[in-house]
Amino acid sequence: MLKIAPCLLSPLTPNRYAAQRSQDAASATPALLPDQKPVQLSSAARHLSSGQNTGSDLDAARVQAFREAMIAGRLDIDTRRIADGLLANARELLG
């Protein structure tokens, strides 16, 4: 049986550790290996990664309608339409 001496344990204080992690992350600069090049992000990628997308892509009324249809058991899912949409999206991204 493994015994841990109480004097070796210290209470965890999440705020102290969180502050240290954020300070470490802020001061860290990514190092590049000799054969690596820095990545240049497009303005769209910078906007998405900043988390400042204020536009809402979510239609609350439509979500509520889906929720109600699922609960009532009358939600009809057209898998062919979903597959067509995914393929169209993939084609758009690839070419």
Q: In whole angstroms, how large is the CA radius of gyration of the chain?
A: 25
Does pLDDT of 8 surpass 50? no
CA angle 54, 58, 60 (to 5 degrees): 120
Q: Give residue 20's pLDDT.
A: 59
The residue with greater pLDDT, 75 or 87, is 87
- The answer to whether 60 and 69 have CB atoms below 8 angstroms apart is no
Give the integer Cα–Cα distance in Å for 5 and 55.
54
pLDDT for residue 44 is more than 70: yes
Backbone angles phi, psi at 72, to 5 degrees: -80, -10
Q: What is the DSSP letter of 32?
A: P
pLDDT the model gives residue 1: 52
pLDDT at 66: 87
Q: How confident is the model over 52-72, as a mean pLDDT?
A: 82
